[in-house]
Amino acid sequence: MRFPPSFIDEVKARLPVSEVVGRRVKLKRAGREFKGLSPFQQEKTPSFTVNDQKQFYHDFSTGKHGNIFDFIMETEGVSFPEAVERLASMAGLPLPRNSREDEQREQRQKSLFEVMELATKFFEQNLASRVGAQARGYLSDRAIISSSTVEFRIGYATADRFALKEYLGSRGVPVEDMIEAGLLVAGDDIPVPYDRFRDRIIIPIHDQRGRVVGFGGRALKKDVQPKYLNSPETSIFHKGSIVFNFHRARQPAHEANSVVAVEGYMDAIAVYQAGIKAVVATMGTAFTEEQIATLWRLSPEPVVCFDSDRAGVSAAYRSVDRILPLLRVGKTFRFVFMDEQKDPDDLIREKGVEAFRSVLSGSLPLWDVLWQRETDGQDVRTPDKQAALEQKLYTLVRTIQDPAVNTAFFRTSRMQLANLFWQVNRGPTRKAREAPTPLNPRFKFDGEGQRSGLQKVVLGMLVQYPDLLDEKQDSVLRLHFPEEFDGFLTSLFQLLVTDAKLSVADIWTKLKPAFYDTLQAVHGEAGNGKPRGHRLVERFPILSRDPPLDFVSGCTDHFIKILHWHELEDDIQRARLDAGEGDESAVARLLNLVREGHAEQETISAEGVALSEWAEDIIRVWAPQGGTMHLAA
C-alpha cells in the first residue's frame, strides 16, 4: 500500500516524536530536547535524545536515528506500511483510500485470509478429536507439549481426500477460493479437485501480521513422500518472502537484539518451547533477498543454524553468496553447524536447551564461513593456484555493494591470503622454515641459527675468496648484518680501493686490529694444528675439498638470497603488525612482500637443488689434499 507524502506529513504533525518514543522509553526533558536510556542496547548513562521540533531521535550509543516511522520499524520489526498504519491509528487518522483495483485486490485477499482461518480451525478440531489420536501421539513423541500445540495452532489433516473441501463447502466457501488458497489440488487433468493435505500434522504459517497464509504438513507414515509438504505459491503466500514464526519472534528478538534461524518449523517450535523465543525458520528454502531483509528487521546479526552434513554445509555456502551483495555496516550474519548430524530439536530433547545455547555460542562470522569455503582442501603451494584463489576471493568481495564493508572485506582478504600463502610456503615446522635450501645438510652451525650462521659463512667466504669481493659488493651491502659486522664489512671493501689484488694474508694483515675478533669468528686464524680459515670450514665443510671458484661464487649468491629471504620475513612481520592496526597501505604491502618472498623461495629452491648436485659431484671426484684448503697467496 502506498501513502501520499501529504498523509505521511499529517501523521508526523499529529504525533510528536516524544509521544511515540515515550511509550517505550522513559524520557526526561533536557532543555529543548528529551533524554533517556537507549532502547537498542543496555546502558547506564542516558545517550538517547529526542527533539520534537526537528521531529527526530538520535541514539549516540548505537548511531541509530530517524523519525517516528523509523522508530516503530526499528523497535517493533515491522515494515514501513505497517508502521504507517499503526501510527495513523494512534493519531486517529483514517487510511487513504486506494484505487478501485487495489480495493478489489485487498478484498480478495481478505476473503482468502478468512478461508485460511476456517481451514486452520478445521485442522485444530481434527487434532483434538478422536481421529487425531495418532497425530497427538506423534507430537508427544516429539516432546511438543499441549500449550505449544495451542499456541502454534497445530492441527491434523485426515486421510480423507475430500474432508477439508466438504467442510469449507458447508461454510459457503467456493471451490475456486479453496483452489486459489492452495488448499485443493486441481488441474486440467484432474476431474475432481481434492484436498492437498492428507494424513499429515498441519502447522499454520503466518505472515508478519500473524495471519495464516499457508500450511506445512508433516507426513505421519514413514514411506510417504515428501515428508514435509508446504502450501504452493498463492496471492497471499510467497514462500521466498516469509520466515516461519516471525510474528511471535519479533518482540523477543528486539528485546534480545538477536534471533536464531533454523531450517525447519518443527525445529523452530522445539527451540521456542525450550525458552528461546527469538527463533524463526526458513522452511528449508534457499535464502532470498526478502528473507535476508526480514531477518535483519529482527536483528542486525541473525544466527543461522545448518546441519553439519554435506547438504547443510552446501546450503550455508549458497546462503553466503546471497548475503554478500546485501551486507552493509551493522548488518551481517553468523553461522552455526550442528554437530553429530543432530538438528536443534534432537539436541534439545537429548541434552537440553543449554546444550543448544552452547552450540549457538560457537557461531562463526560470515567471513569465516566464506574463507573456509574457498580454502578448505585447496592446494595453494604454487603461484598460479595462489593467483586463482586470490582472484576468486576478490571477485566475491566485489559483489558487496556497501563501500565501507567492501573495503573491510578486501583488507581482510589480503591479510589472510598473505598469512595463508606465507605459512604454506614456510612449512609447519621450525626445521622446514630454517631449511629453504637442499644445501642445508652441508652446514654445521653447532647451535647457531641458520641466519646467524649464514651471515658468518658469507663474510668468511669473502675473506677466503677475495676475488669475489668486487662482484658481490652490491648484493652484500644491501643485506642488514648485525651492528658488530657493519664496520668490518666497510673496512673489507675499502681494501679494494687501495689494493687491486688482495690475498687472504693481505686481509689478515691490513685490516685494523679492532676487527681481529670478527676475523677469528667468521674465518679463523691458523694455530693449534688448524689451518687459517678453519672456522669457515667447520661451518661449510665442503670448502675443505677445494671446490672450483664458480661453485663458491654460486654458493655465495645462494646464501645471500637466503639471507634476503629472512629479511623479507622480518618485513612481512612488521607489515602484518601495521596492517593489524588498520594501516591500509600496509595490507597491500603485506601481500606484495609475500609474493616477493614466494618468488625468492622458488629461486632458492631451484638453485639449492643444482648446487647440491654439484656438491655431490665434487665429493665424488675429490682427491684428498691433506685435509686442508688451498690458500691464495
pLDDT tens by residue, 533-568 = 999 999 998 898 889 999 999 999 999 999 998 998
pLDDT for 454 equals 92
C-beta of residue 229 within 8 angstroms of C-beta of residue 216: yes
Comparison of pLDDT for 107 and 92, the residue scoring more:
92
pLDDT for 442 equals 54
pLDDT for 35 equals 94
pLDDT for 103 equals 60
Comparison of pLDDT for 347 and 434, the residue scoring more:
347
pLDDT for 623 equals 47
In the chain, the percentage of residues whose pLDDT exceeds 70 is: 91
* Vertex 432 angle, CA 428 and 437, to 5°: 150
Q: Over 80: is that where the pLDDT of 625 sits?
A: no
Average the pLDDT over 109-135 and give the result. Answer: 95
pLDDT band at 52 (very low <50, low <70, confident <90, very high): confident
Which residues, listed in sequence order, are joined to residue 260 by a DSSP beta bridge? 279, 303
What does the block give as the cell for 117? 482461518
Average the pLDDT over 137-152 and give the result. Answer: 96
pLDDT tens by residue, 284-297 = 667 888 899 889 88
What does the block give as the cell for 37? 536510556
C-beta of residue 162 within 8 angstroms of C-beta of residue 194: yes
pLDDT band at 167 (very low <50, low <70, confident <90, very high): very high
pLDDT band at 341 (very low <50, low <70, confident <90, very high): low
| Residue 229 φ/ψ, nearest 5 degrees | -130, 125
| Residue 244 φ/ψ, nearest 5 degrees | -65, 135
Give the DSSP letter string of 469-512.
HHHHHHHHHTS---HHHHHHHHHHHHHHHH-SS--HHHHHHHS-
pLDDT tens by residue, 386-399 = 889 999 999 999 99
The region, left, alpha or beta by phi > 0 then psi within -120 to 50, assigned to residue 544 is alpha
pLDDT band at 382 (very low <50, low <70, confident <90, very high): confident
pLDDT for 631 equals 35
C-beta of residue 551 within 8 angstroms of C-beta of residue 607: no
Among residues 527, 553, 546, the alpha carbon closest in space to that of 611 is found at: 553
d(CA 443, CA 249): 69
pLDDT band at 465 (very low <50, low <70, confident <90, very high): very high
Q: Over 60: is that where the pLDDT of 431 sits?
A: no
Least confident of 70-84, 330-344, 453-467, 613-627: 613-627
pTM: 0.70
pLDDT band at 366 (very low <50, low <70, confident <90, very high): very high
pLDDT band at 106 (very low <50, low <70, confident <90, very high): low
pLDDT for 98 equals 67
Chain-wide mean pLDDT for the chain? 87
pLDDT for 177 equals 94
